[in-house]
Amino acid sequence: MKLKKRNSIGLEELDAVKRVVSSGNLSQYVGSWCDDFMGGPEVNRLEQYVKEYYQVDYCLAVNSWTSGLICAVGALDVNPGDEIIVTPWTMSATVMAIIHWNCIPIFADISIEDFNLDVTSVERLITSRTKAIMVADIFGQGHNNEELRILADKHDLKIISDSAQTPYSLQNDTIAGTMSDIGGFSLNYHKHIHCGEGGLIVTNDKNLYERMALIRNHGENAVTGMGRSDLNNMIGFNFRLGEIEAAIAVEQFKKLKNIASTITTLGDYMLEKFKDIRGITPVFPKENCKHNYYILPLLYSDSETGIKRKDLIRAIEANGVYGFMNGYVLVYDLPMFKTKTAYGVSGFPWSITESGRRMKYERGICPVAEELQDSKFLGFEMCLWELTKGDIDDIYNVLVSILGND
């Protein structure tokens, strides 16, 4: 069998591009304090649209969500050597934003129920050096924001959330990613909606918004013009999104509810369908949570089937089905953490503090995430494909032909 790749780009986006190109204005940013410091009409329209969409006070469009994460960490009053507690089960970009500002990532373990930060494991790691918590709304479902907020408030910490994989997941009546101090979304072409490359930062905090606007656009030139005296972390970048991408992104947002609800329905069906496959345990969404299934989460037991996960995936691919994943990402497995090599070769930024110098990112610090990575997690890249229920039934049959059912 052969699955079809999903493509949400159509005539609406083409018309938007034509409109912008005909205007001749492909970007309107100026990198010093003036009217155009905040960009042109399409960027402003996108930000307005997103503010209303997510019901937040402020939005900034950026050229990638990786850039957005860098803005977010820089906007906090962090000093080199400060610690930020972060999930290890996320794309590397979440953690690299910490390193970019010479802060030190401290990895807390995740919960097997939703693959998001386990609040009790975060609490154990809080010290006087901790400044913030970074959580990812991983795979398409929001983190436990109520419990995490209570903990953060108790210790006066900010929360940054990464909702790159979760653009429209309702959790009770709120949208995942909008309850943190700073949240944001990715518009890269792997995600539910995209404009090629792009990112969106959301916040309800005016101070953080202004600081992020400065970091986005050569803040060192504009900080005093904006009427601010805080020069810390105002080493600005150029993270500006173009007008063409912004116009495409607005058209994509108009399609998001539809795309998200289609994927939610199919993902729910797939989890239910896969319940009786030997060795496989679907991980259902939390109560009152609509899952966006960027990745469909399954647990796998190789001791039950006698087939190693990577051999299982090879056997599935022999049937023409691609998208099953041999684990996900355990960020501290990256060589950078093994040798603590980031800036230069002398252990900077870890070398700044005594505790940083002592720190080791060894196996054993997050046992739940490690077991998932090594054998137990079997994801399916749901967002990649334009699936029908018939396709899902066919995938089920492939799995049953290899593993059997009970």
Ligand X SMILES: *Cc1c(COP(=O)(O)O)cnc(C)c1O
Residue whose CB is less far from ligand X, 33 or 337: 337
Residue ranges in 177-216 that form contacts with ligand X under rule CB under 6 A: 186, 188, 199
Residue whose CB is less far from ligand X, 13 or 162: 162
Q: For residue 396, count CB atoms less than 10 angstroms from its CB and return exposed for 0-12, middle for 13-18, buried for 19 or more.
A: middle
Report the alpha-carbon distance of residue 378 to residue 310 in Å, rounded: 10
For 320-335, give the DSSP string: T---EEE----GGGSH
Query: What minimum distance in Å lies between the beta carbon of 5 and ligand X?
Result: 17
Residue ranges in 375-404 that form contacts with ligand X under rule CB under 6 A: none
Radius of gyration of the chain (CA): 22
Report the alpha-carbon distance of residue 141 to residue 296 in Å, rounded: 11
* Contact residue for ligand X among 83, 88, 89, 94 (CB under 6 A): 94
* Contact residue for ligand X among 13, 82, 162, 391 (CB under 6 A): 162
Residue whose CB is less far from ligand X, 91 or 234: 91
| CA torsion angle 375 380 384 388 (round to 10) | 170
Q: Collapse the DSSP code of 258 into the 3-class scheme (helix H, G, I; strand E, B; otherwise coil) and give the result.
A: helix
Site string for ligand X, 296-315 (x = CB under 6 A): --------------------
| Beta carbons of 63 and 29 less than 8 angstroms apart | no
Q: Collapse the DSSP code of 343 into the 3-class scheme (helix H, G, I; strand E, B; otherwise coil) and give the result.
A: strand
Query: What minimum distance in Å lies between the beta carbon of 292 and ligand X?
Result: 11
Site string for ligand X, 60-79 (x = CB under 6 A): ----xxx-------------
* Contact residue for ligand X among 91, 266, 313, 392 (CB under 6 A): 91
Residue whose CB is less far from ligand X, 64 or 116: 64
Residue whose CB is less far from ligand X, 66 or 203: 66
Contacts with ligand X by CB under 6 A: the residue count is 14
Residue whose CB is less far from ligand X, 91 or 108: 91
Query: What minimum distance in Å lies between the beta carbon of 73 and ligand X?
Result: 13
Query: What minimum distance in Å lies between the beta carbon of 128 and ligand X?
Result: 29
Residue identified by tokens 């005296």 is 229
Looking from the CA of 141 toward its CB, the CA atoms found within 13 Å total 24
The C-alpha angle with vertex 302 and arms to 298 and 308, in degrees rounded to 5, equals 100
Residue whose CB is less far from ligand X, 180 or 305: 180
Residue ranges in 223-252 that form contacts with ligand X under rule CB under 6 A: none
Residue whose CB is less far from ligand X, 6 or 273: 6
| Beta carbons of 273 and 393 less than 8 angstroms apart | yes
Report the alpha-carbon distance of residue 376 to residue 373 in Å, rounded: 7
Query: What minimum distance in Å lies between the beta carbon of 278 and ligand X?
Result: 31
Report the alpha-carbon distance of residue 195 to residue 247 in Å, rounded: 9
| Beta carbons of 74 and 80 less than 8 angstroms apart | no
* Contact residue for ligand X among 136, 263, 295, 387 (CB under 6 A): 136
Query: What minimum distance in Å lies between the beta carbon of 208 and ligand X?
Result: 19
| Beta carbons of 233 and 211 less than 8 angstroms apart | yes
> Residue 250: which of 212, 198, 204, 299 has the closest Cα?
198
Q: Does 165 bind ligand X (CB under 6 A)?
A: yes
User: Which residues of this chain interact with ligand X, rule CB under 6 A?
Assistant: 64-66, 90-91, 93-94, 136, 162, 164-165, 186, 188, 199
